[in-house]
Structure 1
Amino acid sequence: MDPTPAPDPMLTATLRQMADIALPPPVSMMPATWGWAVLFAAAVLVLGGFLWRWLRQRARNRYRREALAELSRLEKAIDQPAGRRHALQSLPALLKRTALAAWQRETVASLSGKAWSDFLQAHAGTARIDSETYRFFAEGEYRPAALASTDEARARQRLAAARQWIEAHDVRS
C-alpha cells in the first residue's frame, strides 16, 4: 500500500477555483435617514443659541466684573489706616461709575446726596444694606475727616455692602 493516496483531479480543480472571502464594506457612521440630520441640526442650533445668550449676558455684565476687581484691590488696602482712608474715599466713586455703566448718564450723573442714596436703595435688587451705609455712599466722599477715624471692622462692612450692591443691583427696575 502506498501511504499517500492519489490526488483527486476534481478536488484539485475545485481548490484552484477557490478565492478569499469577500468582506462587506465598513458600516457608515453617517445617519441613514434625514431625520437624524434634522435632529443634529436642531441640537446645533439650540446649543448655538445658548452660547450666544451666555456670551451676550457675559458682555452685559462686564462692568460688574471690572467693578468687583477694583473693589478687591480696595479690600486689600484696608489693613493700614492710610489705605483704609483711600479705599473708603474711593468707594462712592466706584459705585457711581458702576451705576453710570449700567444706566443712562442723564439718569445717574446728576444724582447726589439723598437722591443718590434713594437711587442706590431703589435699584439694590437683592442686596440687604442698612440706611446708614446708603448715607455713607451718598456723603462719604464729601467728609474725608470722618473717613480717617473709621475702624477696620466698619470699613470692611462698607466694602461688603458695596460688593453686595454691585453684585445684586437690578438694572431693569
Structure 2
Amino acid sequence: MHEEWKGLSLAELIDLLEPVPEPAPVSMAPQTMGWVWLGLLLLGLGAALIWMFVRRWRRDAYRRAALAELGTTAQDASSLASLVRRTALAAYPRSAVASLFGDSWLTFLDNAYGGSGFSNGPGKVLATAAYQEEQAGEPLTRLVKEWIKRHRRELPDA
C-alpha cells in the first residue's frame, strides 16, 4: 500500500479510484450474413408486391372508368349496351369481341363472368338495345355492374 493512502477513510479511498470505462456502443449492423440475405429477400419481396399492385391497378383502369361511367350514364338499355361493348373491347382482343352479336354476344358475356344473366335474364335486352328504345331498369344495371366488376380477362369459351 502506498504511503499517501495511509490514514484515508474508505470514502476517500473510493474517490481515488478511476471511473469504470464506458463500454463500446453496440453495433446495429447485422453480425452475420444471414441477416443481410434475409433483409435483401424481404426488400425484394416488398418491391415485387408493390410492382404487382401497380401493374394490377393499371390493368384494371378500364374497369374503374366503366364503373364511373355507369354511375353517370343515362339508364337506358342502349347506353348500357354501348358501355358493356366498350368495356369488353378494352378487356379482350378486338378480333374476339367486335364480330359478336345477338345470342353469341350474350353467351360471350355470360361465359366471361360465369353467370347466365345475359342469356336467360335481364341482360337479354342488350342483344337488341341498339335497335329499340328501352329503359334499362335496376336488374339490368346491377347485372352490368356485376359483369364489369367480375369478368375475367382471359377469353371465355364460347
Do Structure 1 and Structure 2 share a fold, with TM-score over 0.5? yes
* Distance across 2 between alignment mates of 1:9 and 1:122: 102
SS at match of 2:130: helix
Structure 1 residues without counterparts, runs of 5 or longer? 1-7, 75-82
RMSD: 2.3
| Residue correspondences, number | 147
* Percentage of pairs with the same residue: 31
Question: What amino acid maps onto 1:64 in structure 2?
Answer: R
Map of 1:129 onto structure 2: 117
Q: Give the deviation of 1:128 after TM superposition.
A: 5.0
Contact 2:110 2:116 in 1 (8 A): no
Match of 2:26 in 1: 27
Aligned mates of 1:30, 1:117 — CA distance in 2: 62
Name the structure 1 match of 2:148: 166
Q: Aligned AA for 1:129?
A: G
The structure 1 segments of at least 4 consecutive aligned residues displaced by more than 6 Å after TM superposition are 14-17
Structure 2 residue matching 1:25: 3-state secondary structure: coil
Q: Give distance in 2, aligned partners of 1:103 and 1:84.
A: 25
Shift of 1:20: 3.0
Letter in 2 for 1:158: L
The residue identity in structure 2 corresponding to 1:42 is L
TM-score normalised to the size of structure 2? 0.80
Partner of 2:5: 10
* Structure number having the greater helix percentage: 1
The aligned residue for residue 90 of structure 2 is 101
Listed as ranges, the matches of 1:66-145 within 5 Å are: 66-74=65-73, 83-85=74-76, 88-125=77-114, 127-129=115-117, 131-144=120-133
Output one character per residue of 1:15-44: Cα deviation in whole Å (capped at 9) or x when no partner. Answer: 896433210121111111111111111111
Task: Structure 2 unaligned segments of length 5 or more: list them.
Answer: none
Contact 1:120 1:134 in 2 (8 A): no
- What is the CA–CA distance in structure 2 between the aligned matches of 1:108 and 1:155, rounded to whole Å? 25
Instruction: Determine the structure 2 residue equivalent to 1:52.
Output: 51
TM-score under structure 1 normalisation? 0.73
